[in-house]
Amino acid sequence: MRSQGFSIIELLISVAVIGIISVFTFAGYRYSGRIAKLENEAQKIVGEIESVRGMSYSGLDIERENGERVEEFTIDFYESHYILMKGTDEERKGDLESGAYVPDESRKRVAFVPPEPEAFFYDSNGNIMDKNYADIEFKFRDLDQSKTIRVNKIGLVQILE
């Protein structure tokens, strides 16, 4: 006569199935979190570039202590941080999210020149780039995806998919 209940084998199989499903669910959740961090980082950088462009709109009235006018406003991208500049004076430094980096080929300087901010682009060696746009790519070390931010000559900033 068979008893009412589950055998130990049936219970072990049920627990194993639940465990396998949990592992895949958790892995997908972690991956989604990293994708969200990458998107958030890209949005933050777009805001910083637009901040520099905004400074150049108001740049006509900015003078240094020695009376010289600020000629350009820039944002320089390095491996794990970026620097906003008014002319040759550092405005502020920003760090990228932990694990985020800019690959060598995407390290650039974006410069806006007042009064109608026209953008100029420099490569990592300081040479001016003869292009109508610059692409800055961001990656996370443990993620196979990246985000690219494009800035064009008139200062339009967009995140490419």
Residue 121: pLDDT above 80?
Answer: yes
Residue 47: pLDDT above 80?
Answer: yes
Residue 95, amino acid: D
Q: How far is the C-alpha of 93 from the C-alpha of 77, rounded, in Å?
A: 10
Would you tell me how many other CB atoms lie within 10 Å of the CB of residue 39?
A: 13
Find out whether 84 and 105 touch, Cβ atoms under 8 Å: no
Residue 4: pLDDT above 80?
Answer: no
The angle subtended at Cα 108 by Cα 107 and Cα 111, nearest 5°, is 160
> What pTM was estimated for this model as a whole?
0.75
Residue 10, amino acid: E
Q: What stretch of H or E contains 17?
A: helix 8-57
Walk me through the domains of the chain, giving residue ranges and CATH numbers.
8-160 (3.55.40.10)
Q: Rounded to the nearest 5°, which phi and psi values hold at 92?
A: -165, 160
Tell me the average pLDDT across 107-136: 88
Residue 80 CB contacts under 8 Å (≥ 6 apart), including other chains: 95, 96, 100, 101, 102
CA distances from 130 to 54, 121, 138, 159 (A): 23, 8, 22, 21
Residue 133: pLDDT above 60?
Answer: yes
